[in-house]
Structure 1
Amino acid sequence: MKLAKTYTFLKKDLSLIEDALEETVYADQPVLHDASTQLLKAGGKRLRPVFVLLASKFGDYNLNRIKNVASSLELIHMASLVHDDVIDDSDIRRGKPTVKAKWDNQVAMLTGDYIFAKALQQFTEIDQPRAHQILAKTMMELTIGEIEQIKDKYNLDQNLRVYLRRIKRKTALLISSSCQLGAIVANTDNETEKALFRYGYFMGMSYQIIDDILDFTASEKELGKPAGSDLLQGNITLPVLYAMENRHIRHELEEAFADTGNINPNLMVPIISKISKSDAIAKARGVSDQYLQKAYDSLSLLPDIQAKEALANIANYIGNRKI
């Protein structure tokens, strides 16, 4: 089953949010407009708006209010991707040129800043102070996660706790906040809000771990970028942590990272291949499955409505996706 088929009943509402996104990223300045529009048209699963909409189904579903939250969170996600591409010096995302590749780093950073600002402007329509506090906290944690990733590049002396804390900040909190803010704007009760937040957090953790696995197991065509790109950029993910339990692989990585300013991609190719064929992949998937089960458990506390079934189906898709 394709992901979109798990929430076909949201198709009309998602179309309205897509229209809102196009309207929001409009800029009078030509370069900003073109760069922002290119990013929007590059596609994406639009998962964060989907989570906002589904969470809101458990309360007072008012699309005029909810769409502001949904589009704001997607814009924040988009802006973080633009900044990521500059930090990682990435020329390709989803098989297409990045903003920094088509223009330059300065334009990319300013485009990201512009989109962040537009997200905050959109969110001012929400008159619930607690929602603004949660969004601000999420954005701060997202930034800390990015800084931590930069700090730990090429650092082979990391542990599971450091990795999990980093992906919590970089990925899981934006997804959990999407669920929580959807619940808040729909005025759900506290228990429902907590259950949706927990579902989003555990889903986000599983989602990022699967992403890190696919970086080794999917093809360049499927990824839209070279396999093992994260490791080539010095990012130590869960499969790498487990693979380094093999002292030979760790030694090869130590040699490859001896001069981080001059990494030889040819040395990395066999290492990436070894990791992709090692038991590290199964171990990492096992951790993802644990988070996935916790996401399912969180759903058990919610009433049996169509949105709950959709959330369960999304979890099933994410946990078993091949790309």
Structure 2
Amino acid sequence: MKRLDIFGALKKDMDVIEKELYRSIEGDDQQLTETSLHLLKAGGKRLRPVFVLMGGKFGNYDIDKLKYIAVPLELIHSASLVHDDVIDDADMRRGKPTVKSKWDNRIAMYTGDYIYGKALTLTTNLNNPEIHRILSKAMVEMSIGEMEQIRDFFNCNQDVRRYLLRIRRKTSMLIAVSCQLGAMAAEADRVVSSSMYRFGYNVGMAFQIQDDLLDLCGTEKQIGKPPGSDMRQGNITLPVIYALQEPELGQRLLKEIERIHALNGQCDVSEAVGMIRSSTGIARSEVLADRYIRKAIDALDSLPDIKTKKQLKDIAHFVTKRSY
């Protein structure tokens, strides 16, 4: 299923969001504007703005109001990616050089901070304190999730529960509040905004698991970076955790991860990737992602039976079937 097959009905308003994204990062400092533009031009799925707009369909839909939620959420996500690339020492993202690799770490960090600031500036156009509280909490949780990931680099003793808590904070919450705040900004019923939050939370969990699977099973052309990049950085993801649980293979994989750690990830990781691909870790991760998708679809049951409801189901199914 192609992106436009799902989001085609929102194309006109997504064009508005795209223009607002570019307009929002313009400022007095030419270099910060340039580095921010470089990031936006690399593209992206724009999943968070889409969820904001779809949440708005269950209330008083107004693109001129919803854009003050959709654009900041995409900017917050983008800023976190700039910081991620510094932490991960990543040279490529979405098949293009990262801000960090094209300029340097310092400029990348300030670019991320600048984009965060621009996001918060835009939200001042909304006078609902609850929206600001929810958004602020999500940003705090994201930061905690990032710190947890750093602390767990090359930690092969972590369990599935620890991994799930980390991706809840790092990825899922921002997708959940995108769905929730779209409904809230459109003054939808509280039952609707709560259901949208649950939908987004479960889709977000499945989305991150699928991302972790693609990092191991995808091609460089599909994912815009070499397969096994997470392994090089020491990010122990769900398929790896499952593979480490296998008695014989787990011991061999552990030794390989220890070798990668000793070399600071500056080595070939294809042997470790091959081990994980041959393990049950891939299939077990897919099963868990599918379970989250079923929960996401169940969360839609209480929503009004409008066209958007079916589109949300289509997106949910797309998340675990995507190859990028």
What does 1:1-323 correspond to in 2, within 5 Å?
1-258=1-258, 260-263=261-264, 266=267, 268-323=269-324
**How far did 1:304 drift?**
1.3
1:102-151 Cα shifts (integer Å, max 9, x gaps): 00000000000000000000001010000000000000000000000000
Query: How far apart, in 1, do the equivalents of 2:267 and 2:95 lie?
Result: 22
TM-score by length of 1: 0.97
What is the rounded CA distance, in whole Å, between the counterparts of 2:51 and 2:311 in structure 1? Answer: 10
In the superposition, relative to structure 1, how do residues 266 and 110 fare at CA in structure 2: closer, same or farther (>3 Å)? Answer: closer
Amino acid at match of 1:83: H
Given that residues 210 and 288 in structure 1 are in contact (C-alpha distance below 8 angstroms), is that contact kept between their aligned partners in structure 2? yes
Which amino acid in the other structure matches residue 313 of structure 1? Answer: D
Aligned to 2:269, the other structure's residue is in SS state helix
| CA–CA distance in structure 2, aligned partners of residues 186 and 210 of structure 1 | 30
How many angstroms apart in 1 are the aligned matches of 2:29 and 2:212?
A: 37
Distance 1:202 1:177 in 2: 12
Secondary structure of 2:187's aligned partner: coil
Instruction: Supply the AA of the counterpart residue of 1:134.
Output: I
Taking the aligned partners of 2:262 and 2:203, their CA distance within structure 1 comes to: 35
The residue identity in structure 2 corresponding to 1:312 is: K
Residues 143/235 of structure 1: CA separation in 2 closer, same or farther (3 Å cut) = same
Percent pairwise identity: 48
**Change over 3 Å in CA distance of 1:203–1:57 after alignment to 2:** same
Q: Is the 8 A contact 1:22 1:37 kept in 2?
A: yes
Q: Residues 256 and 263 of structure 1 are in contact (CA less than 8 Å); yes or no, is this contact kept in structure 2?
A: no
Report deviation, 1:157. Answer: 0.4
Contact 1:86–1:108 at 8 Å: present in 2 too?
yes
Give the counterpart letter for 2:286 in structure 1.
Answer: R
Could you tell me whether the CA contact under 8 Å between 2:234 and 2:265 is conserved in 1? no
Amino acid at match of 1:282: A
Report the Cα offset of residue 230 of structure 1.
0.4
CA gap 1:266/1:117 in 2 versus in 1, 3 angstroms: closer
| Shift in Å, 1:277 | 2.4
In 2, the alpha carbon distance for the partners of 1:316 and 1:255 equals 37
How far is the alpha carbon of 1:265 from its aligned partner?
Answer: 5.3
Counterpart CA distance in 2 for 1:7 and 1:128 is 28
Structure 2 residues without counterparts, runs of 5 or longer? none
Counterpart contact for 1:3–1:314, Cα < 8 Å: no
Partners of 2:162 and 2:232 in 1: CA distance: 20
Q: Work out the CA distance in 2 between the residues paired with 1:110 and 1:307.
A: 38
Deviation at 1:261?
4.9
Count of matched residue positions in the alignment of Structure 1 and Structure 2: 323
Name the SS for the 1:300 alignment partner: helix
- TM-score normalized with structure 2 length: 0.97
After the TM superposition, list the runs of 4 or more consecutive aligned residues in structure 1 that deviate by more than 6 angstroms: none
Query: How far apart, CA to CA, are the structure 2 residues paired with 1:217 and 1:5?
Result: 24
Q: Which amino acid aligns with 1:270?
A: E
Amino acid at match of 1:221: K
1:47 CA drift (Å) = 0.5
* CA RMSD across the alignment: 1.3
Q: Which consecutive unaligned segments of at least 5 residues does structure 1 have?
A: none
TM-aligned CA deviation for residue 214 of structure 1: 0.9
SS at 2:44 equivalent = coil
Residues 36-80 of structure 1 deviation map (CA, whole Å, 9 limit, x = unaligned): 000011000100000000000000111111011000000000000
1:232: Cα distance to partner?
Answer: 1.3
